Amino acid sequence: MRSLLSSSFATLALVGLLCLTLNASPARAVCSANNKCGRDAPCCSSSGYCGSSAEYCLANCNPIGSLSPSSCAAMPTCQNTHIDFTDNRKHWVNLKGFNGDASLAPLTLDSGNIKLTNEGAVMQLTKANQDVGTQLSTTRYLYYGEVSATFKHTNNAGIVGTMILMSPTHDELDYEFTTANRHEVQTNAFYRGQTSDNDANAETIPASAMGGKSFTTSDFHTYTIKWSPTTIHWSVDGKVVRTIARSSRRVAKTKKTAAHYAYPATPARVQLSIWCAGCPGNAPGTRAWSGGKPDWSKAEKVDGKQAFTVTVKSLDVKCDTPASIGSSPAMSFAGGALDSETGEPRVVPTKRKTTI
């Protein structure tokens, strides 16, 4: 079964969350491929605003809307990582004040609150932070490889839990947990944030494909995305539930674009989040996709406060970085002509700094 709403609103909704996280002012210049940033504010943020500080030039700075790809700080190259959140250790630094030095921590806390417990990191969504939610992001960029996260999310109307690979050009691979249905998960694959007429981006995976009637998202499960230059596999508890081949994503030449593969092919950060898609301020379609207005009486008590939660037990990242990057500690997007196969900026090794 395919979900048209998921395809239509997943990326738009996420960009809305990122925009709130950045707290971008409406007075900021908006940037895109056709409206690049100027010299005074050369970096195009992931939410589409121009600026010159770390919030804009780090954390998925978009090379396509920036003054030039080199306006963005270089991307720290992936390293194999295992994080056990049950060890009661804080594996992150706050995004605010982060300078891009990936050696400081494997993750940034972009917004929200997390409580460490013996079960893992409890990511909280409360009424107080419902406008931004809670989000963790890796400080390094995966350029092909495998990501597995073990977590549980008790689905409720209006509340969305996610595991996402998001690139600076808005290539995206994800799992999304939405509405009050605890017996299915949504998967998406987006190329530069684009949806498609036949909704080939989105697919809803029923419980029958993930272990049968006993499957519920409120139990711990391991969700995996294995991403290579030719194939993407989504797996739940080791069982492949969806596959996309790059060969199926061929796009014919048009008057505006050369023939290419609409297939995610740029370095991405891994992100885990919980946010309120059904809260006021979001578009009607986003609220409907999420199941409508949340019922806060169904939230659990965390430290005396009502909170919807995602509890993350572990995160594993296995890198399969292309040989073209080699052992370079950093990667960057190159200027000039786009890659003829992907239709995106070329990714190259660099000696430029990853810090601001």
Active site residues: 172, 176
| In the block, residue with structure tokens 């919807």 | 308
Tokens for 81, please give them.
Answer: 């990582």
DSSP string computed for 237-260 = TTEEEEEEEGGGGEE---SSS--E
When computed from its CA atoms, the radius of gyration of the chain, rounded to whole angstroms, is 19
What are the residue ranges of helices labelled H in the chain?
4-22, 54-57, 284-289
Lookup: tokens for 300:
């659990």
Four-point Cα dihedral 257, 7, 219, 160, nearest 10: 110
Burial of 304 (0-12, 13-18, 19+ CB in 10 A): exposed
Sign of the torsion formed by the C-alpha atoms of 125, 86, 313 and 95: positive
End-to-end CA distance of the chain: 45
> What does the alpha-carbon distance between residue 275 and residue 123 come to, in Å, rounded to a whole number?
10
Burial of 264 (0-12, 13-18, 19+ CB in 10 A): buried
- Is residue 153 within 8 Å of 41, Cβ to Cβ? no
CA dihedral 13, 246, 58, 67 (to 10 degrees): -100
CA dist 125 and 276 (Å) reads 8
Q: What is residue 210's three-state secondary structure?
A: coil
